[in-house]
Each structure stands twice: as C-alpha cells, then as structure tokens.
Amino acid sequence: MEPRRDEQTMTAQQEDQRSAPPADLARKASRGTLVTAGGLWGRALLQTGSTVVLARLLDPTDFGLLAMITAIVGVADLLRDFGLTAALIQTRTMTTALWSSALWLSVVLGTVLAVAVAAAAPLIALLYGEPQLVLLTIVIAPTLLINGIAMPMQAKLQRELRFTTLAHIDVGSMLVGVALSIGAAVLGWGVWSLVLLAGAGQVYRLVALWLSARPRFGPPRISRAVLPLVSTGGSVFGVQLLNYAARNLDNVVIGHQLGPQELGYYSRAYALFLLPLQQLNGPLGRVALPVLSTLRDEPERFRSYIRGAVLMIGYLTIPAYAVAAAVSGPLIALLLGPGWQPAGLVFSLLAVAGVVQAVGSVQGWLYLTLERAHRQLIYYAITRPLVIAGFFFGVWWGGIAGVALVYSLTTLVLAVPGFWFAIRGTFVRGTDIVGPLARPALAALPAFGAAFLALQFVDGPAVLELLAGCGAGLVPLALVCLIPAYRRDLRRIVGFVALVRRRSAPASTPTPEGAEA
C-alpha cells in the first residue's frame, strides 16, 4: 500500500532537513574522520592477518586467478554504480521520490550487470587461457547485484553522518569474510576460499546496511527526479572508469603476458601497498565529501579544511612509505613467508605511487564538492591513457618490476599538472596543497636513508631486520620534531583530533587551522 501524501511530504521535509549543515559540523567531521579511521584500521588489521595466513595456506597462482577476474568484474561494478554514490552524497536535497528512484535504478543496474558478467564468463576464460575462470566468474557475478542494493543505503548513512554505524559494518563484514575464508583454506578449498572472503563479507554488509538504513523502496518506478543525479553520476562514472583502468589494467596485462604466478606476486605486493592508502583515504574521503559539500559557499573554511587534510595525509603517508620501501625485503618475508621474494621489489617501486595517490585523492574531493565533475572527466580522458600505455611498456621492458616502476614515475610526473588543472578557476590556491607537503617530504628523505643503511649492517631473521630498519628510520623523524616548524604542524594535527572531545563546536568558535570544518 502506498504511503499517504502527507506522509510523503513529511518524509521529504525530513530528508531536506538532513541535507542542511549541522550546527556542530566541525565536531561531527573530526569525530567522523577518527571513527571511520578506527573502523578501517580494524578492517586493515583483519585484512593483513588474513593475508599473512592465506599466503601460507594458498599458492601464488590462487591469488593470480582471482586477480584476473576481479580486474574485469571491477569494471562492471563501476558500471553498476555509475557514479550514483558520489552524486547522492553531494546532492543538495534528497526527496522521497529521488531516494526511491535511486534505489530502483541501482537494483536494475546491478541485475543487468550481474547477468552480463555471468554470460561473459567463457570470454574472460578465453582471454587468459584459463578454463577454470568460467565457474569462478559465474559465482562472483551475483556480487554486482548485492552491491547494487547496498550502494544507496551506504550513501544515505554517509549523508546523515552516521560514521560509527558504517565503521561497525566495515569491521563486521571483513571479520565474517576472513573467518570463513581461512576456514575454507584450511580445508583445502584453494582459490574458492578467496572467493568466500569477498562474497561472505558483501552479504553481511548488505544485511547490516539494510537493518541500519531501513530503505523504503516504494512502487517500482524510476522518476525524472533522478536525471540530475544520472548527469552528475555519468561524469563521475567516466572518471572512475578511467581511474579504475589506470589502476587495474596492469593486472590484465600481467596476467595475459606473464601468467597467474607472476600476477600473484604482483597482486599481493599491490594489495599491501594499498593498505595504508585505504586506511587513510577511506576515512578522510568518506567524511570530506559531505563536509566539503556544505562548505562550498564558504571559501576560507573550505581552504582550511583542505590544508588540514593535506597536512595529515602528508605526515601519515610520505615518511611511512619511505621507510616501508627501504625495508620491503624483510617486510614481505615476514608477512607472506618464503617464496614471495619477487613481491618485495614490486612493493618498493610502488611506494612513490602510494604517496601520489594519497595526496591525489584531494583532487577528487575538489572536483566533486565544487561541482566540477565534468572538468575532471576531461583531464582523466587525457592523462589516464598515458598511465595505461605505461603498463604495456613496463611489462615488455622489465616484467612486474618494470610495470611497478613505470607506474610510479608516470603518476609522479602527472601530479603537478593534475592539481593545477583541479584548482584553476577556483578559490583554492596551490599553496594550500604544496605548503603542507613540503616538510613531511623533507623529513622522509633521511628516514629512507637511515632505514636502508641499517639493513646493510644487519643480517638475521626477517623480524630482526625489520625492527632494525624501522627503528633507524624513526630516528630522523624524531629529530625533526625538535624543529619549531615541525612542532607547529603536529600541534595543528593534534588540534584537529582535539575537536572530538568537544561537546559542541558553534560556527563562531575558532578552531585550529586545518581542523576547521
């Protein structure tokens, strides 16, 4: 039975009110960042633990087979989303009709793409010359429908700034997937235990989101109200598709040219390289999009938030990747065990790309929250084919190490023009990006050198080498804290964290630079 008109009007008013900026936005933003970070860090610990265990129970070929499928199925998942998640988060108002239409549109896209991927399973197997990929692809295909149902509910919780709920769901879904996959691997399920890792977690996520968001689908109808979202989402989708290709076609190229074992080495190194990015960019991005969308008409507060986010990203990623690159050998040996040595060099070479991607996420925030998604699509259409071309050159020139090196160098070269194009014509300045990064970049150089030199004088178990290298790398980082400029940066970061303890943060109350939202 359809809801009465007065109920629809009331629901629409409630949704519109949720779109208004909260009075204590600064506290909600800072708390949301830390809560989300805690959830994703918990998820990262579980993911790292599963990698350590599964790498010893499974063969590199098992990881390579799954990477072959996910590289292609991921494209279908982008088609399924079509940029609607970002469009739902940044839209200024949310009515009942718009919400219901977005739900039904997402379900339709998920169903169509799931059927299409299952039908394409023989072609995917033919591409790689691996017949067993047919059944694997058919089993994985329904996850597209699961994600299609879950996507609008996650966007709704983000709009309502319910970050604690999302953090619990993140950790719970990973815990379910890890527990079942390790059990399956112990029983000898091989690559199917990796399929279970993703599938079980997604089913849990769908159920938890449903219970939290309590969606009201309404009659099966997609109204014209959803067209503005589709327009914005189309540009976002184009950007996501190009970006996905630039970050995942390396798996297709390596799998096709070098086979599942080499892809297994590369995919595990890439997964470990992504962990710091996911744990930092995930919480910051999830909070930044709704917060910056409310600040787009307040330039100074917007710029202050950007400076604070870049400052935090710089200090948490540049020194960390520098030290990790220096100790990649014992790090990979400790995490993945014997027989994974080729992944160590790949991990080191990807470190530069890690820093660029971490800082580069801010570009996406600027394009989306300043409503310039079409401009981002133009830039990506020009630059991402260059990155993809590098995969073919890299695999021809130096195998998996060549792909990692060329990828890092290409992303580094494109970083400066990328930010110039993103901020051109806006109130954001280049100093808002470059300024916060200068000091952490300078501190990272001696940290890398100290960690690398320490390994030259230590020869022992992997854990001893790792401790020696990390300990040596931390010494220069501790020494720079004696410099007043570095101490000021740390106080700004601490000021951001201190907002969490405040019961409220009225708009007239000053906040530390970089922490204001």
Q: What is the pLDDT of residue 87?
A: 65
Question: Which one has a higher pLDDT value, 56 or 393?
Answer: 393
Q: What is the pLDDT of residue 40?
A: 59
Judge contact between 331 and 473, C-beta under 8 A.
no
Summarize the confidence of residues 412-433 as an average pLDDT: 93
Question: Which one has a higher pLDDT value, 77 or 256?
Answer: 256
**36 alpha-carbon distance from chain centroid:** 13
What number of residues does the chain have? 517
Q: What is the pLDDT of residue 272?
A: 85
Name which of 420, 461, 266, 295 is nearest 368 in CA terms.
295
472 to 215, 310, 319, 465: CA distances (angstroms): 52, 26, 13, 11
Q: What is the pLDDT of residue 5?
A: 38
- What average pLDDT does the chain have? 81
Q: What is the pLDDT of residue 496?
A: 57
Percent of the chain surpassing pLDDT 70: 79
CB half-sphere exposure, 24, CA atoms < 13 A? 13
At residue 147 the predicted structure's pLDDT band, cuts being 50, 70 and 90, is: confident
Judge contact between 366 and 372, C-beta under 8 A.
yes
Q: What is the pLDDT of residue 16?
A: 42
Q: What is the pLDDT of residue 72?
A: 82
Q: Is 340 helix (H, G, I), strand (E, B) or coil?
A: coil
From 77-81, 169-173, 245-249, 329-333, the region with the lowest mean pLDDT: 77-81
Q: Is the pLDDT of residue 114 over 50?
A: yes
| Phi, psi for residue 172 in degrees, rounded to 5 | -60, -45
DSSP class per residue in 58-86? S-HHHHHHHHHHHHHHHHHHHHHHTTHHH
Residues 91 and 95: their CA atoms lie apart, in Å, by: 11
Q: What is the pLDDT of residue 39?
A: 61
From 4-13, 145-154, 217-226, 415-424, the region with the lowest mean pLDDT: 4-13
Judge contact between 348 and 357, C-beta under 8 A.
no
Residues 162 and 472: their CA atoms lie apart, in Å, by: 41
Summarize the confidence of residues 124-145 as an average pLDDT: 90
Residues 198 and 371: their CA atoms lie apart, in Å, by: 33
Q: Is the pLDDT of residue 512 over 60?
A: no
From 272-281, 382-391, 418-427, 508-517, the region with the lowest mean pLDDT: 508-517
Question: For tokens 């790792």, what's the residue?
Answer: 466
Residues 213 and 211: their CA atoms lie apart, in Å, by: 6
Q: What is the pLDDT of residue 423?
A: 93
Q: What is the pLDDT of residue 455?
A: 92
Q: Is 379 helix (H, G, I), strand (E, B) or coil?
A: helix
Question: Which one has a higher pLDDT value, 339 or 120?
Answer: 120
At position 314, the amino acid (one-letter code) is: G
pTM passes above 0.85 = no
Percent of the chain surpassing pLDDT 90: 35
At residue 349 the predicted structure's pLDDT band, cuts being 50, 70 and 90, is: very high
Q: What is the pLDDT of residue 99?
A: 73
At residue 20 the predicted structure's pLDDT band, cuts being 50, 70 and 90, is: very low
Q: Is the pLDDT of residue 478 over 90?
A: yes
Q: Is the pLDDT of residue 60 over 90?
A: no
**401 alpha-carbon distance from chain centroid:** 23
At residue 294 the predicted structure's pLDDT band, cuts being 50, 70 and 90, is: confident
Q: What is the pLDDT of residue 431?
A: 93
